[in-house]
Chains A and B, each alone.
Chain A
Amino acid sequence: MLSIYKVSYKNLLRKKTRSILTIIGVGLSAWVLASLMGFNQGYEASLNRDIDNMGFQVLVTAKGCPYEAATLMLKGGTGLRYMKESITNLVLVNPEVDKVTPMLMHAVFDPNKGESGGMSAYLGVDPETFPKMKSFLEFKQGKWFTDSKALEVVMGYEAAELEQREAGDILLIPDKNIELKVVGILKRTGTQDDGTIFVPIHALQKLFGKTGELTGLGIKVKKDANIAKFEEKLYELPDVQVVSLAQVKQTIMNLVSTAKVMVFSIAMIAILIAMVGVINTILMSVFERFQEIGILKSIGAMPWDIFKLIWIETFILCILGGIAGTGMTFGLSKTTEFLIRKLLPYTPTGSLIKLDFNLIAMTMLTVLIIGLVSGIYPAWKAARVRPLESIRSELN
Chain B
Amino acid sequence: MKNMIRIAGFSLLILMAATTALYAAVGCDLNDPDKDVARLFPGSTGYKTLYLSIDKKGGDALLKEIEKRLGDKFQGLFETADVPYTVYEVLKDKEKIGYIHGVNQKGQYGGIQVFLALDLNGIIKSFYFQKLTSKAAKELRDPAFGKQFENLNLSDFYKYDVVSAKAITPGKVESVKNPAPDAEADFKAAIRATKKNLILMDEFAFQNKYLSEFHPK
Contacts and interface: CB of A to CB of B under 8 A. Distances in A.
Interface of A: 16-17, 20, 24, 110-115, 118, 140-141, 158, 160-166, 170-172, 174, 177, 179, 185, 188, 190, 328, 331-332, 334-335, 337-338
B31 A115 contact: yes
A331 B13 CA distance: 9
B109 A172 contact: yes
Nearest to A180: B109
B77 A112 contact: no
B19 A164 contact: no
The 10 closest A-B pairs by CB, nearest first: A172-B109, A334-B19, A164-B106, A164-B111, A112-B137, A163-B111, A163-B110, A114-B31, A112-B132, A331-B16
A20 to B, nearest CB: 7
Interface string B116-154: 000000000000011111110100010000000000000
A353 to B, nearest CB: 12
Most buried by A among B18, B130, B137: B137
5 contacts: A110-B133, A164-B107, A165-B106, A332-B12, A332-B15
Query: Chain B: interface residue count, which band?
Result: 35 or more
Nearest to B8: A24
A172 B110 contact: yes
B191 interface: no
A373 to B, nearest CB: 27
B15 A114 contact: no
Given A160-B77, A164-B105, A332-B16, 16 more contacts: A16-B1, A20-B1, A113-B130, A158-B26, A161-B25, A161-B111, A162-B131, A163-B110, A164-B79, A165-B106, A171-B133, A172-B109, A172-B110, A188-B23, A328-B12, A337-B19
Contacts of A331: 12, 16
Q: Is the interface of A mostly helix, strand, loop or mixed?
A: mixed
Interface stretch (B32-40, B60-68, B208-216): B32-40
A163 B76 CA distance: 12
Contact of A164 (B31, B35, B104): B104
A306 to B, nearest CB: 29
Nearest to B112: A164
B133 A172 contact: yes
Contacts of A17: 1, 4
B78 interface: yes
Contacts of A164: 76, 78-79, 104-107, 110-112
Nearest to B26: A161
A334 to B, nearest CB: 4
Most buried by A among B12, B15, B109: B109
B111 A115 contact: no
B110 A20 contact: no
Nearest to A182: B110
B111 A162 contact: yes
A163 B12 contact: no
Contacts of A172: 109-110, 133-135
B135 A115 contact: no
A140 B77 CA distance: 9
A133 B77 CA distance: 27
A162 B26 contact: yes
Contacts of A158: 26
